[in-house]
Chains A and B, each alone.
Chain A
Amino acid sequence: MDSKITEVSQMFDRFQASFMRKDYDTCDRLLSQLKVLLTEFKSLPPLFQETPNNIRELTLARHIYEYAVILSVKIEDQDAFERDFFQLKPYYTDARRLPPSAEEYPILGLNLLRLLVQNRIAEFHTELELLPPNALENPCIKHAVELEQSFMEGAYNCVLSARQTVPHETYVYFMDLLAKTVRDEIAGCSEKTYDSLSIKDARQMLLFSSDQELSEYIKEERTEWEIKNGFVFFQRSKESTPCKEIPSLQLINQTLSYARELERIV
């Protein structure tokens, strides 16, 4: 058993070294080898057998998976993140006798943020329920929760300013993705709310750094908008003329069903 542990820890040290050097390809390769070696340990989930070294093995395995999660953020692979996070979760929930890990809350917060960015709000809330009540005090978790609230309310500039206050540097990737979603949302809201906006205001709201980018965005994504005399006009659907036609098919169906039911009344 000990030899296996030493082998794994040595490989893990090499992994950490290449991680520091930002050599992500080597990291990836070493990670797959590490995962294969980890299957030999009997004390890990799902078996959870009691072996003499199980505390060391569990701590080592947990450390490896935490690094795997952070690696997946660096290489910007969301599927790998999800996989590694699911493998990491049993260590947090079931293996309670281990000393708490420093990375636990940042990683949990990271997962919440990922669910928010992917618009999986139901899963976001389910995950939130699983956290103990004092977890909400932790800055990483609090950050994610407040972000979700502001997003739901529509206070988008709160969302964007939160980017400055990330509790952990790994959050930056998801915040950038979130910024893009926010921009689409703002654009969608603006076209319903405003008749027209000056180019300066539009640029400010949609967070473009130059008029050029703004006009490109409009050309590609929002073709109904028009730029005239330094103003952006949002073409809204002609709601001024109320619909004069009667939804005849629906009315006919309804009336027929009334007649049928009334006939049935003895």
Chain B
Amino acid sequence: MTQDVEMHEQHPAPSNSYSSDSLSTLQHLKDIAALIETGAFSREVRRVVRAVRWTIQLRKKLNDSVLSAFLNYVLVPGSEVNSRLSSYITKDDEHDMEVDSATSANQAPAKHSLPEIEIYCYLLVLIFLLDKKRYAEAKACSSASIARLKNLNRRTVDVLASRLYFYYSLSYELTGDLAEIRGNLLSFHRTATLRHDELGQETLLNLLLRNYLHYNLYDQAEKLRSKAPRFEAHSNQQFCRYLFYLGKIRTIQLEYTDAKESLLQAARKAPRSAFGFRIQCNKWAVIVRLLLGEIPERTVFMQKGMEKALRPYFELTNAVRIGDLGLFKTVAEKFASTFSSDRTNNLIVRLRHNVIRTGLRNISISYSKISLTDVAKKLSLDSPNPVADAESIVSKAIRDGAIEATLDHANGWMVSKETGDIYSTNEPQIAFNSRITFCLNMHNEAVRTLRFPPNSHKEKESAEKRRERHQQEQELAKHIAEEDEDEF
């Protein structure tokens, strides 16, 4: 077999080793195609999912010649689809010849006209174009594939379709035309809901949310999200994305507790290697926690691979923790470009209020009595009338319960109240209660997911063992009965 000879050849000549590499990739691709076929014929979606996973592993090894060979193998040559797709791949004539001659020698290429295979080819070409950064062509290819998808209504295509939607949106985003496809995405979402294509629905909802959030249309995003049908997540990655977008929307709407929960969950569930995503989640989570008034601990910023990216946020947290407005302003200006590229600028502005509160709290704890002019000086309030400002800020803080103090207007000073003995109140009880309920909930959930060890039902108790057990139980019962009598 010429094919085998080529694969085992240890020739240093680049062309041969290149083609042997490409041959093994080609072989992989053919295997994948076969898998999709069987999956389509037996209507098993799992096989298609596996095929997609294998493809992603092969991503790096794709190149023009492999692709064109694969397309010729799988699609009827000269068909409309084949010619359209091949036009995206620059033909590399020299290597083309070798590969062609090798493969055509030993197999009559089986022509499949399954729609799944077609869509798979679209997907492959699209991934290839995006990896090679040929965005305009990727855009055209994805639009063509979407047009083809409209006529199909098969469950096995759904998995491939959801991937296609994702890359479609990505190619438009990379060329900056995201607004154009919003109408299309909405109609696809409608169709997916009609066909009960849950994976497609999930993917499309996330793509739509991403679309709206890209243009800061938080209002519309929230309206869509609240009305769209919700169900159990099929894909972990899509669920993480959904949580992240939800967290972002909630932050802008000032619902910080919900936002914190969503963002932290998204960061936890994300796969370990998804660094970019986890960095973004952590950035937003840090800001939300600062806005809630709690200081994130240092370990959050020291996670592997994220230290450099989180550095600006670390310094910001420092400024808020100390409560120094001047430092806060310097940090905000120093990293202004990072913040604006992360779109967190407006949130940082909101943090000013928290800085003042923390500063005030520190002052109130350290001094039993302090004049308002000194308070204004310590808080470094820059305003035309700092003392009056300080007075009103302090009185609002007292009303909101942030500090315990009273003001004396005539003498112009703030008197802090004694912090009473906290153990004589109900506070410890409440804190303990929340911890106890958390542990008990965790225990209940663990019990619910308990599984018996898989081989336990196979062990049959031998007669001997059973007799022994019975004997022991009887002895125990007698013992307990005797004890009871004794006690009385």
Give me the interface of A with B, judged by CB distance under 8 Å: 121-123, 125-126, 128-130, 133, 145, 149, 152-158, 161, 185-186, 188-190, 192-195, 197-198, 201, 242, 247, 251, 254, 257-258, 261, 264-265
Contact = CB atoms under 8 A, between A and B. Distances in A.
Contacts of B219: 123, 126
Contact of B353 (A133, A152, A189): A152
Q: How large is the interface on B (under 10, 10 to 19, 20 to 34, 35 or more residues)?
A: 35 or more
Interface string B396-418: 11110000011111100000000
A153 B254 contact: no
Interface in B419-452: 424, 426, 429, 433, 436-437, 440, 443-444, 447
B394 A193 contact: yes
A154 B217 contact: no
Given A157-B389, A193-B398, A258-B436, A129 B410 contact: no
B218 interface: yes
Contact of A154 (B392, B429, B447): B392
Interface of B: 216-219, 252-255, 340, 345-346, 349-350, 352-353, 356, 381, 383-385, 388-389, 392-399, 405-410, 424, 426, 429, 433, 436-437, 440, 443-444, 447
Nearest to B253: A122
10 contacts: A122-B253, A129-B252, A149-B353, A153-B356, A155-B392, A157-B385, A189-B395, A195-B408, A261-B440, A261-B444
B142 to A, nearest CB: 25
Contacts of A130: 216-217
Contacts of B394: 154, 193
Nearest to A155: B389
Given A121-B254, A195-B406, 17 more contacts: A125-B252, A125-B350, A129-B252, A149-B349, A153-B353, A153-B396, A154-B392, A154-B394, A157-B389, A186-B392, A186-B395, A193-B406, A194-B407, A254-B433, A257-B437, A258-B436, A261-B444
A-side interface mostly: helix
Contacts of A198: 409-410
Contact of A194 (B349, B409, B436): B409
Contacts of B381: 155
A198 B216 CA distance: 50
Given A149-B352, A189-B399, A192-B399, A157 B409 contact: no
Chain B CB within 10 Å, residue with most, of A121, A130, A154, A155? A154
B216 A129 contact: yes
B392 A189 contact: yes
Nearest to A260: B440
Contacts of A153: 352-353, 356, 393, 396
Nearest to B420: A242
Contact of B253 (A125, A152, A195, A257): A125
A133 B406 contact: no
A186 B394 CA distance: 11
A149 B356 CA distance: 12
A192 B398 contact: yes
Nearest to A195: B406
Contacts of B346: 125, 128-129
A157 B388 contact: yes
Contacts of A156: 392, 396
A192 B409 CA distance: 13
A193 B407 contact: yes
A192 B395 contact: yes
Contacts of A155: 381, 383, 389, 392-393
B410 to A, nearest CB: 7
Nearest to A197: B409
A193 B397 CA distance: 9
Contact of B389 (A145, A158, A185, A194): A158
Contact of B218 (A126, A185, A264): A126
A179 to B, nearest CB: 14
Contacts of A133: 340, 345
A121 B443 CA distance: 41
Contacts of B436: 258
Given A128-B346, A157-B389, A189-B396, A194 B406 contact: yes
A166 B384 CA distance: 17
B254 A125 contact: yes
Contacts of A145: 349
Nearest to B218: A126
Contacts of A123: 219
B406 to A, nearest CB: 6
A83 B397 CA distance: 36
Contacts of A154: 392-397
A192 B417 CA distance: 13
A154 B375 CA distance: 15
B134 to A, nearest CB: 29
B329 to A, nearest CB: 13
Contacts of A122: 252-255
Contacts of A149: 349, 352-353
Contacts of B396: 153-154, 156, 185, 189
Given A122-B253, A133-B340, A186-B392, A201 B399 contact: no
A79 B163 CA distance: 46
Pick the 8 closest A-B CB pairs, nearest first. Answer: A154-B396, A189-B395, A193-B395, A155-B389, A189-B399, A122-B253, A154-B393, A261-B440
Contacts of B353: 149, 152-153
A154 B399 CA distance: 10
A188 B395 CA distance: 9
A201 B412 CA distance: 12
Question: Which of A133, A194, A258 is most buried by chain B, counting CB atoms within 10 A of its CB?
Answer: A194
A145 B394 CA distance: 21
A194 B398 CA distance: 10
Contacts of B409: 194, 197-198, 201
Nearest to B216: A129
Contacts of B393: 153-155
